[in-house]
Amino acid sequence: MTDTVFPTIGYLAWQLSQNIAGRLERELRALDLTLAQYNALLHTVRTPGLSSADIARRSGVTAQSMGAAVNHLIGRGLLRREPHPTSRRSMCLFATEEGHAVGTRADAVAGRITAEATSHLPAADSATLRRLLYRLVEELNPDSLAPGVRSEGVRPEALTGRERP
């Protein structure tokens, strides 16, 4: 193997993801959340009315895993289900008031972990990294991002990682 082949961008991105996800998973335990539950809550807060299957696709997990996460959140009173307005087979998910509050606390944890992970980078490098990752995800899985926001529309403070994860 040569340095030009290994480590690849995918490997480096995977390592970064594993590091941040591991830390996030450990710290979310204080809020009684798993990563899948945090993703379900995050997507439901940002895009009310999604189905569990929609959230699974956006999060890159199986429908079964997301179903378990959603059921846990419903049992805790953080999400509620409502019938879909046009499909009898689908249910829409909405965050409750408490779900919004827990989501805000979880976002703060995620933001702190992201800031810590990139703290050794100059602010300009951190902003560049975030912008480039955003553009890649925007092309590969645009549904996983906030609806209707394109990378060129992202506010500069959001690119630094200081606002939201």
| Parent domain of 55 | 1-117
Report, as an integer, the average pLDDT of 44-52. 93
Number of domains in the chain: 2
pLDDT of residue 143: 80
**Tokens (6 digits) for 32:** 């009684």
pLDDT tens-digit profile of 64-115? 999 999 999 999 999 999 998 887 888 999 999 999 999 999 999 999 999 9
How confident is the prediction for the chain on average, in pLDDT?
86
Q: Which amino acid is at 110?
A: A
Q: What is the DSSP letter of 2?
A: -
39 C-beta neighbours (distance < 10 Å), count: 22
Both 111 and 145 in one domain: the answer is no
pLDDT of residue 4: 64
How far is residue 63's CA from residue 95's CA, in Å, rounded to a whole number?
Answer: 19
| Banded model confidence at residue 163, pLDDT cuts 50, 70, 90 | very low
| Banded model confidence at residue 156, pLDDT cuts 50, 70, 90 | very low
Domain boundary among 97, 117, 137: 117
pLDDT of residue 149: 57
Q: Pick the residue with more confidence: 165 or 149?
A: 149
**Tokens (6 digits) for 74:** 């419903």
**Tokens (6 digits) for 160:** 């630094």
Both 82 and 156 in one domain: the answer is no
| Banded model confidence at residue 159, pLDDT cuts 50, 70, 90 | very low
